[in-house]
Amino acid sequence: MGADNVDAFQRFIFSVPPLRVQAAALVVLSAVYAVGTFGGIWLFTPFAPDPSRIVPVAALIFLVPFVVAAELFPRVLDGYPRPWSYFLALTSQFVLFVYALVLTGANNVGNAWSIIWLSFITLYLVNILVLVVSTGIDRSDRILLASLVEPGLLIAAFYALGGSEFGFSTYRHVFAFASLLIAAGFLVLVLLVVDYLIKSNTDVSAFALTSGLLRNDRESLDLGVEARPSVETFAVDNGSRLTVAAPWVHPGPLGGFGGGQLSGNLIDALNGGRGDVAGRDPSGAAAAADGGTEAAAIDGGTGAASDGDAGFFFHVPCTHKEDLSNPADAERILDAVAEPELTERASRLVTESYGEREGYADVRFHGRRIGDKEVIVLHGEGIDDYDTGVFMRDVDHDDVLLIDQHRHDIQNGPDAEIQYGSAEADRLKRAFDDFRDRLADAPLTDDYAAGFALTRTGQDALAMVESVGDQEVLWIGVDTNGLTPDVRATADAYRDEFDAVIPFSTDTHASIHELANMRESDTDAIERAVDRAVDDVAPATVGFESRRTEPVKLLKNDYNGLVFSVNILIRLTLISLVTLYVLLVLWLFF
Residue 233 has pLDDT above 80, yes or no: yes
Taking CA atoms, 571 is separated from 121, 138, 210, in Å, by: 23, 21, 14
Contacts of 159 (CB under 8 A, 6+ apart): none
Can you give the pLDDT at residue 336? Answer: 97
User: What is the enclosing helix (H) or strand (E) of 258?
Assistant: strand 256-258
Can you give the pLDDT at residue 43? Answer: 84
DSSP β-bridge partners for residue 227: 552
Please compute the mean of the pLDDT values over residues 128-151 and round it to a whole number.
90
Q: Which of 142, 176, 175 is nearest to 158 (CA)?
A: 176
Q: Among 262-276, 344-358, 385-399, 529-543, which is the least confidently predicted range?
A: 262-276
pLDDT in tens, 570-583: 777 778 778 878 88
pLDDT band at 213 (very low <50, low <70, confident <90, very high): low
How far apart, in whole angstroms, are the C-alpha atoms of residue 451 and residue 518? Answer: 29
Residue 280 has pLDDT above 60, yes or no: no
pLDDT in tens, 61-107: 999 999 999 999 999 998 788 999 999 999 999 999 999 999 888 87
Please compute the mean of the pLDDT values over residues 458-462 and round it to a whole number.
90
How does the average pLDDT of the chain come out, rounded?
85
pLDDT band at 4 (very low <50, low <70, confident <90, very high): very low
Residue 501 has pLDDT above 70, yes or no: yes
Can you give the pLDDT at residue 274? Answer: 44
Residue 242 has pLDDT above 80, yes or no: yes
Highest mean pLDDT among 16-25, 406-415, 568-577: 16-25
What is the DSSP pairing of strand 471-478 with strand 500-505? parallel
pLDDT band at 9 (very low <50, low <70, confident <90, very high): low
What is the DSSP pairing of strand 241-247 with strand 310-313? parallel
Contacts of 309 (CB under 8 A, 6+ apart): 240, 241, 242, 243, 271, 272
Can you give the pLDDT at residue 302? Answer: 37
Highest mean pLDDT among 241-245, 351-355, 357-361, 422-426: 241-245
